[in-house]
Structures are given as C-alpha cells and as structure tokens.
Structure 1
Amino acid sequence: MLFTVDIGNTTVAIAGLEGERVAFVKKLPSDPGLNWPAALRQLLEGVEAQGAVLSSVVPALTGPVGEGLKAITGKPVLVVDKTTPTGLDLSGYDTANLGMDRVVDCVAALAMYTTPVAVFDMGTATTLSVVDRGGLFRGGMILPGLALGLEALSARAAQLPPITLSQPEGLLGTDTVSCMKYGALYGAAGAIEGIVRRLEEELGGLTVVLTGGNSTLVRPLLGIPTAWEPHLTFLGLGEIWKGNN
C-alpha cells in the first residue's frame, strides 16, 4: 500500500492506494497547530505502507505532515514540487506560483483519458487545468469555490444567511436560502458549460473531467458529457510515485 496525501486549504486528505484502487480515504483539518506526528499515527494506526507521496498547497503544513508520514513508514516522503519529474510538459507556463495539485490532477487525467483534456477540481477554489493534444499544459483558470462564494454573500449582505449546499429540487428558488443555493450551483454549472464551449472552439474535441468535493453537486446539473473521478489527485500521486521509484 502507498499513502497518497493531498494537503489542501481546508483538509489534509490521505488515501491508501493499492495499485489503481483507493482502499480508504481519511481526513484531518488543515490546522498548523495540530501535533501532526501524533495525529497521523492515530489516524493510520494498524495500516502498513511501502511509502508516501504528497502534494501541498499549504507550505506551512508540508514539512510537519511529511515528517509525520516519514515516522510512520520509516522512509523519506516524496514531496511533489516543481523539481519533481512528473511527465507533464510545463514549458509554456510560468510555474512560479503553480499549485502542484493541478499538476497532479493532469498527470492522472493523461493516464486515464484522451487529450485534449480539461480538469475541473471543485474544492475550496474551483480550478481548471487544460492539457492539449500534444501533452502540453496550456494553463487554466482559478474561480472561487461554491462555499467561498456563498460565504462572501452572507458576509456582505445583511439579509442573506449562511447556508449549507445540497442538491437542488428545481431550477428556481422559492425563498432566500434556495435562491442562494440554486444560484451557486447553477451558476457553477453554467460557468463550466460556457468555459468548455470556448475551449472546444479553440482546441477541438475535449474530454472534461470533474473532481473535488463539490463536483458531486454540480455534475448532475451539467448539459455536457463529463467524466467524474473523485480520487483523481490520489491516482495522479500514485502515477508520479511509480515514475520516481
């Protein structure tokens, strides 16, 4: 088994990868104050792994989580950064502030789907990453995530309450809460459809892949064909591990 770790802005997600199968996913909050060696040992108690690989968009957590995983596995952790060979051609992109989670997603998508491919990762932020027919990372977009957009509405408008997202029961809301919910969900779906239409005009045929926690809510609302892979980042980390071991 391989520990594959995605350190995000909200959660640190750890998946146990057995070949191409995700055996489990466990999560901890992205809390810099956590005693990470102790927390990880408790979370992964009784699970043996041959090693660990991680990607991170929270630099302050990369070291503590990596050291905790090293203590558990007894082996150095492969931290995917800009120097790590991934097989993805980044020559046309300024990588100074590129989140490695986007790279990892694209590595998995290239292994699983035909190009050109567009990956929408719907988490705290919604990121779009595009790889063209020749395997070149063309770039993408970063949009506010669904929860972030709703939090901004609630914070800046006195009469708009905090809400919890769930699957819509129709197209039009009939009260303030449902109007906010439907606006966020159908707005995200409309944005994806519009972006994909423009990408197809530029790149030709396109494989659209959705991943991330909010993708389960948005995908049923889309009027375009998509692939859905909830474990895309973990699978990409597994591919990178294989390429470096």
Structure 2
Amino acid sequence: MILAIDIGNTNIVVGCIDREKTYFIERLSTVRTKTELEYAVDLKTVVDIYHVKRTEIDGCIISSVVPQITNAVKLAAEKVLKKESMVLGPGVKTGLNIMMDNPGQLGADQVANAVAGIAEYPVPLALIDMGTATTISVVDEKKHYVGGMIFPGMGVSLDALTAHASQLSGISIDAPKRIIGKNTIECMKSGVIYSNAAALDGSIDRIEEELGQKITVVATGGLARKVVPHCKREIILDEDLLLKGLLVIYEKNRKDA
C-alpha cells in the first residue's frame, strides 16, 4: 500500500491504494500559507481516521501543480511516514510518450491520469479531469499523449458569474429539477450543469472528428460526478484514476531503483 497525494489549486487529494483496491480518498483544502507541520497533522489525521497503520504504508508519491507548497507537503509526508517521498517530475520515469511542443509544460496530474488510462482502458482515449480547471487529455491508438484541451472549471465559471453580476448570488452546484429554470437559482444551476455537460459532449465529438476514430472517454476529478450523469455521450466515471496512475508510476520507479 502507498500513500498517493495530488496537490491541486483548490484541493489536495489524499488516498491509500495498492493493486487490489483503493482504501480511501479524501480532500484537504490547498492552503499556500500552511507550514510543513500543519500539513503533517492533516495527513496523520486522515490516515488515522481510516485506521491505516503507518507501518502498512510502503511509501509515498506526490503529484503537484502548486510548486509553492510541494516541498512542504513532501516533508510533511516524510515526517508522518518516516520514509522518503517521491515527487512526480523530471527524473521520474512514467513510460508516457508525450507528443507536445514542450512536454515539460504538461501538468503532473495529467501525466498520472494518462498513465492510469493507458493501463486500464482501451485506446484511443479522452481523459477528462474536472477540478479548478477542466482538462481533457487525448491519448492516441499508439498510446502516445498527443495533446488536449483546458477550459475554466465549473467553480471558477460560477465564481466569475456571481462576481460580475450584482443580482446573481452564489449557489451550490447541483442539478435542477428541469433544464428550463423557473427562477434565478434554477436557471443558474441549469446553466452551470448543462452547459458543462454540453461542452464535454461537443468536445468529445470534435476530438473524434479530428482523430478520425471512436474513443474511450473517462472522467475523474471532484466535480465529474455532478456533470457526467447529464452527458449524452457514454463517459466512464473513475474517481480513483489519478491515484491509480500514481501507483503505476511509483511501482515503475521502485523497480528501476
């Protein structure tokens, strides 16, 4: 079993996983001012809540898109586990062939998602990750990472809407009873849910047109569960996808070591 940590702009996803199953997944808030000790307390608390003994954890791997706190979380994990942590980045072997103009620009989370997607699902693939941003990663039939799309996440879009429209207040992100809203709250909920569902459907159609092939579509991320059920395209929901990818990368590098 390993401790897998994904540091995102809004949340830090923490989970324990091995080849057999995912033991838990939890989310902590990403706070750039927290100290190493504060993150250590957070990690220890999550592990203890699920009654996982630290001696059962073989190691830790971290992916991060927030460089300011990567080292603090790494040191926190090492303080809790008494073991060295691996950070996904230069020098870490992933086995992923990235066909981008600048492969180094690809987010660590997208790398982990692609590694898991290739290991778990038939190619070609579109991997949707719905967090602060919504990203779509595309893997071709040769298992090459060929590119993707990035657009504002639902939370970001909703925050922008309420910040710039004085008569629209903040709402929870839940599906309304009907598409055609009968009041402001229903209209906003319908707009944010169904516009994102339509964006995913339309993006998948266009990706298939460009590739000239049908693709397997997998969605993950904190907001995917709210949108995927409203999509017309068949989309597999895999909330463990990123952790599975981190496990594959951890094992690949441990064997090489």
Q: Same fold (TM over 0.5)?
A: yes
Q: Structure 1 residues 110, 98: CA separation in 2 closer, same or farther (over 3 Å shift)?
A: same
CA offset digits 1:109-152 (Å, max 9, x no partner): 00010111001101111011101111111111111111110110
* Rounded Cα–Cα distance in structure 2 between residues aligned with 1:82 and 1:178: 46
What corresponds to 1:151 in structure 2? 159
Q: Which residue of structure 1 aligns with residue 53 of structure 2?
A: 47
Q: Which has the higher helix share?
A: 2
Aligned in 2, Cα 1:18/1:96: closer, same or farther, shift over 3 Å?
A: closer
Question: Which position in structure 1 is the counterpart of 2:10?
Answer: 10
CA RMSD between the two structures: 1.3
Distance 1:212 1:201 in 2: 25
Gaps of 5+ in 2: none
Contact 1:115 1:135 in 2 (8 A): yes
Match of residue 251 from structure 2: 242
Given that 1:119 and 1:128 are in contact with CA atoms closer than 8 Å, whether structure 2 keeps it comes out as yes
Confirm or deny that 1:105 pairs with 2:113. Answer: yes
Residue 41 (structure 2) aligned to one of 35, 38, 42: 38
Partner of 2:199: helix, strand, or coil?
helix
Residues 93 and 137 of structure 1 are in contact (CA less than 8 Å); yes or no, is this contact kept in structure 2?
no
1:28 aligns with 2:28: yes
The C-alpha deviation readout for 1:51-94, integer Å capped at 9, x for no partner, is: 00010011111101101111222221110014321011014341
Give the SS at the match of 2:239: coil
**What is the 5 A alignment of 1:156-171?**
156-171=164-179
Greater CA drift, 42-51 or 78-87 = 42-51
| TM-score (structure 1 length as normaliser) | 0.95
- Which runs of structure 1 show a deviation greater than 6 angstroms over 4 or more consecutive aligned residues? none
**How far apart in 1 are the matches of 2:241 and 2:157?**
24
Q: Distance in 1 between matches of 2:92 and 2:73?
A: 18
- Is the CA contact 1:104–1:236 (under 8 Å) kept in the aligned structure 2? yes
Give the one of 156, 172, 189 matched to 2:197.
189
* 8 A Cα contact 1:93 1:138, kept in partner: no
The CA distance in 2 between the partners of 1:24 and 1:199, in whole Å, is 33
SS of 1:44 mapped into structure 2: helix
Q: Give the AA of the match of 1:221.
A: H
AA in 1 matched with 2:53: V
Equivalent residues in 2 for 1:77-226 (5 A)? 77-203=85-211, 204-226=213-235
Give the percent of matched residue pairs that are identical in Structure 1 and Structure 2: 36
CA gap of 1:131–1:93, structure 2 versus 1, over 3 A, is farther
CA distance in 2: counterparts of 1:19 and 1:58, whole angstroms? 28
Query: 1:71 is matched with which residue: 65, 79, 89?
Result: 79
What's the offset of the Cα at 1:22?
0.7
How far is the alpha carbon of 1:10 from its aligned partner? 1.1
Residues 147, 181 of structure 1: alpha-carbon distance in 2 compared, 3 angstrom cutoff: same
Alignment coverage as a number of residue pairs? 245
Write the distance in 1 (CA, Å) between the matches of 2:199 and 2:89. 30
How far apart are residue 193 of structure 1 and its match?
0.9
Q: Which moved more, 1:48-57 or 1:20-29?
A: 20-29
- With normalisation by structure 2, the TM-score equals 0.91
